[in-house]
Structure 1
Amino acid sequence: MATAKQNFYKWHRILGLIALIPVMMWTLSGLSHPFMSNWFRPTIARETYKPQQIVKPALSIRQVLDKNAISQFINFGLITFNNQAYYQVLGKDSITNYYSASSGDLLKDGDKQYAIYLARYFTQDNTSKVKSITMQKNFDARYQPINHLLPVWKVAFDRPDGMDVYVETLQSRMGTFNNNSRKVMLTIFEQLHTWEFLSDIGGEQFRIVVLLVIISVMLLSLLTGLTVYGLFWKKFKTATENRRRDDRTDTRFIHRYHRQLGLIVSFVMLTFIISGAFHLVVKMHNIKPQAKAYNQVINTKDLAVSNLQLPVDSMKTIGLIKYADSCYYQLSDFKKNVYYYNTSTGNQLADGDAIYANYLSDFYRAGEPPVKVKGKSTITQIRQFDNEYGFINKRLPVQKVAYPNGENWYIETTTSQLATKVAGIDRAEGLSFIFLHKYFGMSWAGKNIRDIVSMLAALGVFVVSAFGFSAFLKNK
């Protein structure tokens, strides 16, 4: 029995030493997260774009396309900036050109100009020079996958704070914004917490496997530590009583603090380990080839009905979609309602947004392994973020297509994009992560209190690890 106890103690020390550096990295970066996401988060004048009501243009989209000899294209929009109305035309080459809605003339570098206009709108900065503007088609350390939107224009201002604004021109919205301090914090968090450097070495799957191995070591260190405390607690208690009786100096106070604090924060550490491991396992499970994108090509000749004849008094956006071998004008108003009008007949498609969402959901599901589902899907428009469809998904409004097997597919119909898919395991992982890892259970007390509690939890794990390492050094 004595040998078994000593082996547990030995393995606890070995496992603790292996996990020491990762724990230090994760707790320190976890401590920095509230500063990055809340207290020291940079501010921007406006986070959403509120366009003016679109005034009926002089020319229809068909007239503009014919004037510029465009017979096929992907989609179009109608926007106003610099006190003029323009048609945004997304060509088959995925390049967006801008044409005056009054003359049909091409605006040179129109997409760049509009991106700068939006960046200045979001920052309310009309004086700083634009240092650079670049098209970004992939995520990177400064514009991470959590931002979802691609492609975007990165507009970098020549300002002391180094402000960069990422804008999606086709939807007139912002992806994110970073100043100098946030760029530093993003780099620290990416390298110390998510260990993206491992992806650079061996890819995403390699990164996840390494992290899972380390988390397993942490779990074994925790369990052996609790076992050691249970096996030796009588011995620890007797030693403490003898020291107090003999009035001797406590030379092993670091060991005692490590044991006592370790017992206190063991539950916290367990929640971090379980939620982190679950998050990584689901991430590994979801690694698969990129889902096929929905593509459409519109023939100019199909626009028999002019967009100027549509019976809509107030609209926010306009575009085109193809459905059931027909082409429809897709219009959204300022109340987030979406309407569909046939481009050949002008007839309205009743409940068109739900019908189109269901069509797109079937398209994206076709790329998944076949799953038999009994019963009909239900379709609900989502206009606000919630626990399942959170702020990180960026896109609103969306249609939620819910299947009887528990799968929920969120579709942004105005871009024909899949916003996200939530199945049983995704839902469970999401809830475990926000409640066990990010402490959303404390949201009732306010974001500041929630962040303080999460920081205290991370600090507790850090202190226990530091005491454990100090105790190891004293034993040498």
Structure 2
Amino acid sequence: MASAAVKSNFYKWHRVLGLTALIPVIFWTLSGLSHPFMSNWFRPSIAQEVFKPLVQSQMKPALSIQQVLDKNNIAAIRNFGLVNFNHNTFYQVLDKDSVYTYYSANDGVLLKDGDKLYATYLARYFTQDSTSNIKKINYQTTFDGQYQPINHLLPVWKISFDRPDGMDIYIETSQSRMGTFNNNTRKAFLWLFEQFHTWQFLADIGGDTFRNVVLLIIMTVMLCALISGLTVYGLMWKKFKSITEKRKEKGGEDKRIVHRFHRQIGLIVSFVMFTFVISGAFHLAVKLHNTETPKADYSQVINRKQLAISNLQLSLADSLIKRVAVVSFDSNTYYQVTDNKKQIAYFNTLTGKEQMNADEDYARFLSTYYHTHQDPDKFYGRVKVNQVKQFDNEYGFINKRLPVERVSYADGSNWYIETTSSKLATKVAGIDRAEGLSFIFLHKYFGMTWAGKNIRDIVSMLAALGVLVVSLFGLASFIKNK
């Protein structure tokens, strides 16, 4: 009697938990099925994905940055660079108010709306579209539904083309690169995924913490439904087997075919459902754990007097220079020069002397800056710095920035610094590393990468489809019992 009561209670709780999780499961599986279409098969194409700037000898600047600053009575800046567009070369100057202004490298004259014009030029370069009208241009300092945090780069210009496909291009002018691009189809998929997979509507109602707590509760209910279902099958499999054998002996009609399919398919997909639930719950738990407010991006103010040596007279051939900027750290100011092989050299702005291994030193400096709880005067163990030139499982494609310096600490944490923008690309500590690996392998099926992206997407879709079918068979069996 006690055993029968236990079995009955397990069965009832399984139905309650399963019905509670039904709508979320439908939302997540259908939106999960749409993801490969958005990120792979229906992803819009673009003519150019990477901008290839001219070397300095091709830009042919007539004036130095000092001459341009003096002519415009500018006493201090945050940074500068050289850009070439519309058959002219300009100094791209980041002023003390963190606004980009553009001055001709030939006569020092200010270019009105220069940053907007350069963003438009880059958008046309990436699309190779020189004829379509520009419908709208917005300066964007925050992420939103169509330009999500996964794109990382901010601030950006959103350039909207007046075309049938509704193409939008997001441009980061400071590094002359593209954040992402969306057409009408991708925008629809993004909205679907945002509302039905990440449940943005909950964040709109109560904020990110509220959303993550609700989703974690639902994930827990799903896990309990899975465990209770397996328990029910384990406790009652002999009974199910006996009923099936008696029906076959009598040659009767299988009136519980829906229940049988629910059990059988449920057993088959129980493992993939477990991987989805555990990785998703872990992902949410880490989000709730990481509540620390990120430190503001590193900023500097460079006085004109610190720029004693002309940027046009460095001991590196103009034919090799792809990018010039200026950085200040450890009480020194340097020209930061990127060559045509993406090697980064540093030249003291007062003496013109090259500082060896300065990119590593700057990465260490920035990493210490971005550590919110680290005392600069305290020793935390040996720090190792390596340049990363390609993405891997820990520093994946979603991080966008390359090359970066990986600053590795004795506690096993890695801080990835993009020295050319002075920004923290990402940090990977113990729990973050574990969560990242579990998510890409258990949730996104990166373990199937060896078979190709198409096969990986098909396998992940079949897994999601299996979970959806089990849930719908479970609903059908509940309705038949009514």
Q: TM-score range by the shorter chain?
A: over 0.9
Question: Is this contact kept in 2: 1:373–1:404, CA < 8 A?
Answer: no
Deviates more, 1:361-370 or 1:63-72: 361-370
Question: Is this contact kept in 2: 1:374–1:404, CA < 8 A?
Answer: yes
Q: Which runs of 5+ in 2 are unaligned?
A: none
Q: Shift of the alpha carbon at 1:37? A: 0.4
Does residue 363 of structure 2 align to residue 361 of structure 1?
no
For residues 308-336 of structure 1, what are the alpha-carbon distances to aligned partners after superposition, in whole Å with 9 as ceiling and x for unaligned?
11011111111000012121100001211
| 2:277 aligned residue (270, 273, 279) | 273
Does residue 84 of structure 2 align to residue 80 of structure 1?
yes
Equivalences, count:
476
Within a 5 Å distance, the mapping from 1:14-163 to structure 2 comes to 14-55=16-57, 56-163=60-167
Q: Shift of the alpha carbon at 1:290? A: 2.9
Does residue 212 of structure 2 align to residue 189 of structure 1?
no
**Equivalent residue, structure 2, for 1:209:** 213
Distance 1:224 1:114 in 2: 59
Distance 1:369 1:226 in 2: 51
**Equivalent residue, structure 2, for 1:320:** 326
Distance 1:369 1:211 in 2: 37
Distance 1:343 1:190, change over 3 A: same
Structure 2 letter corresponding to 1:51 = P
Distance 1:407 1:5 in 2: 48
Structure 2 letter corresponding to 1:32 = S
For residues 194-226 of structure 1, what are the alpha-carbon distances to aligned partners after superposition, in whole Å with 9 as ceiling and x for unaligned?
011111111111111000000000000000100
Does residue 173 of structure 2 align to residue 169 of structure 1?
yes
So what's the TM-score if we normalise by structure 1?
A: 0.98
3-state SS of paired residue (1:177): strand
Structure 2 letter corresponding to 1:470 = A
For residues 92-112 of structure 1, what are the alpha-carbon distances to aligned partners after superposition, in whole Å with 9 as ceiling and x for unaligned?
111100000010000111111
For residues 259-283 of structure 1, what are the alpha-carbon distances to aligned partners after superposition, in whole Å with 9 as ceiling and x for unaligned?
0000110011000011001111111
Distance 2:327 2:377 in 1: 27
Does residue 460 of structure 2 align to residue 460 of structure 1?
no
Q: Shift of the alpha carbon at 1:287? A: 2.0
Distance 2:378 2:351 in 1: 37
Does residue 358 of structure 2 align to residue 352 of structure 1?
yes
Distance 1:367 1:198 in 2: 32
**Equivalent residue, structure 1, for 2:227:** 223
Question: Is this contact kept in 2: 1:373–1:403, CA < 8 A?
Answer: no
Q: Shift of the alpha carbon at 1:128? A: 0.2
Distance 2:150 2:377 in 1: 28
Distance 1:168 1:367, change over 3 A: farther
Question: Is this contact kept in 1: 2:137–2:157, CA < 8 A?
Answer: yes
Structure 2 letter corresponding to 1:325 = S
Percent sequence identity over matched residues? 65
| 1:247 aligned residue (236, 244, 251) | 251
For residues 330-366 of structure 1, what are the alpha-carbon distances to aligned partners after superposition, in whole Å with 9 as ceiling and x for unaligned?
0001211101111111111111100111111111114
Cα RMSD after superposing both structures: 1.3
Q: Which runs of 5+ in 1 are unaligned?
A: none
Question: Is this contact kept in 2: 1:54–1:80, CA < 8 A?
Answer: no
Structure 1 letter corresponding to 2:242 = T
3-state SS of paired residue (2:321): coil
Distance 1:348 1:320, change over 3 A: same
Structure 1 letter corresponding to 2:354 = Q
Distance 1:452 1:292 in 2: 41
**Equivalent residue, structure 2, for 1:438:** 444
| 1:180 aligned residue (172, 179, 184) | 184
**Equivalent residue, structure 2, for 1:261:** 265
For residues 213-240 of structure 1, what are the alpha-carbon distances to aligned partners after superposition, in whole Å with 9 as ceiling and x for unaligned?
0000000000010010011111100100
Question: Is this contact kept in 1: 2:345–2:354, CA < 8 A?
Answer: yes
Question: Is this contact kept in 2: 1:358–1:401, CA < 8 A?
Answer: yes
**Equivalent residue, structure 2, for 1:475:** 481
Distance 1:94 1:372, change over 3 A: closer
For residues 275-314 of structure 1, what are the alpha-carbon distances to aligned partners after superposition, in whole Å with 9 as ceiling and x for unaligned?
0011111111112223232110010111111111101111
Distance 1:303 1:441 in 2: 51
| 2:9 aligned residue (7, 10, 17) | 7
Question: Is this contact kept in 1: 2:368–2:374, CA < 8 A?
Answer: no
Distance 1:418 1:11 in 2: 47
Distance 1:6 1:369 in 2: 60
Structure 1 letter corresponding to 2:204 = D
Question: Is this contact kept in 2: 1:86–1:98, CA < 8 A?
Answer: yes
For residues 418-441 of structure 1, what are the alpha-carbon distances to aligned partners after superposition, in whole Å with 9 as ceiling and x for unaligned?
110000111111111111001111
Within a 5 Å distance, the mapping from 1:408-423 to structure 2 comes to 408-423=414-429
Distance 1:405 1:54, change over 3 A: same
